Amino acid sequence: MRKSVVSALIVSSMALAGCTSSSGVDGLMMQAGTSAETTGSVVRPSVPVAAAEPAPQQTAPDSPSLAWAGPVPQAAQFNAAPPAVVPQPAQRPQNVVEKPIKVSASQMSAYPVRRLSRETRHKIYAHRFRDAKPINFGKASPLRHPVHGVDVSRWQGNIDWARLRTQGANFAFIKATDGGDHLDPMFMKNWHAADAAGIKRGAYHFFYWCRYASHQADWFIRNVPKDPNALPPVIDVEWNGDSSCKRRLSREQVLEKMQVFMDRLEKHYGKRPIIYTTPDFYRDNLEGAFLDYPFWLRAVKEHPSKVYKGRRWLFWQYSGSGLSHGVNEKIDLNVFYGSEHDWHRWLARVTG
């Protein structure tokens, strides 16, 4: 550890700055060369670790976005527990507290919340999306998968969820939180409207590498309702060059922080989190790790089997340039691994 005078200076800086942003106390800890947290060992996926975190350890600075990626398993294998970037816009805000977007009465009337009938709520709608930049995946086309869905954030603006549902959005992952102090201003509106339209929805958190994992988990829990009918929560782990946090942790530190975050969410929501990731981040940190966690993989140029060799997956994000009635901006397109029967069986396991 550093000498006491350094600690005194850090505490003084914290008091002056208020320590309210993602670059606050955690940023100071990083600059001081102190590890944010550890779990005591790297990853123990088969036995979730306790939510409590031991005292920080000193580390040296490092150098500065779900699936079985192999043969399609048989139906019997699908019963096994499923072992993941949401593209961030170039100018996405980082680590700031934003006020919710004010929606006028005219805007609200243009996108009414329409609750569908019980029969319609459980129907699987076929894919009707278009793509501004289509990719030919050949025989591995995502169209082979019957259950399609989307992921959204504030950047899609106001969404007509009932109409989007009929275009093939059977599920939706909705951006909720970022770091330890950012809440997507459209989250609560999207959360309730998607549910009213009969879409199975879950929330995702964009992980920030210069914040305590425990603080981020608490922030997510504070803002995302505990709904037994919701899909499992998602941790979005990737390297993001637009982030104000430029520090790249070691693989060991990455896995430690992820474990702390996921253990807290699993304890609170009673559901094992889904890991969303990108090719470069996976290559640097996740290959061979978290084998009994479900993965949601980004692969927009090739099938996941070629990008994440040997990795089982649950969801595949195959496009970041989707087009659909019901939303004016481009939207991310995804598929669930398995048949309609597999989808309903999985839902029965993870929802109330």
Give catalytic residue positions. Answer: 151, 238
Q: Cα dist. 4→7, 9, 10, 170, 251 in Å?
A: 5, 9, 10, 56, 30
Closest alpha carbon to 187 in 114, 98, 104? 98
41-70: burial string, b at 16+ Cβ within 10 Å, e else = eebebeeebebebeeeeebeeeeebbbbbe
- Segment holding 33, helix H or strand E: none
178, 125 contact by CB (below 8 A): no
Torsion of CA 220, 222, 224, 229, to 10 degrees: 120
Any residues with CB less than 8 A from the CB of 217 and at least 6 apart, and which? 260, 261, 264, 265
* Residue positions counted in the chain: 352
Q: What are phi and psi of 191, to 5 degrees?
A: -60, -50
CA distances in angstroms from 229 to 149, 271, 315, 345, listed in the order given: 17, 11, 18, 14
Sign of the CA dihedral with 97 first, then 31, 90, and 294 last: negative
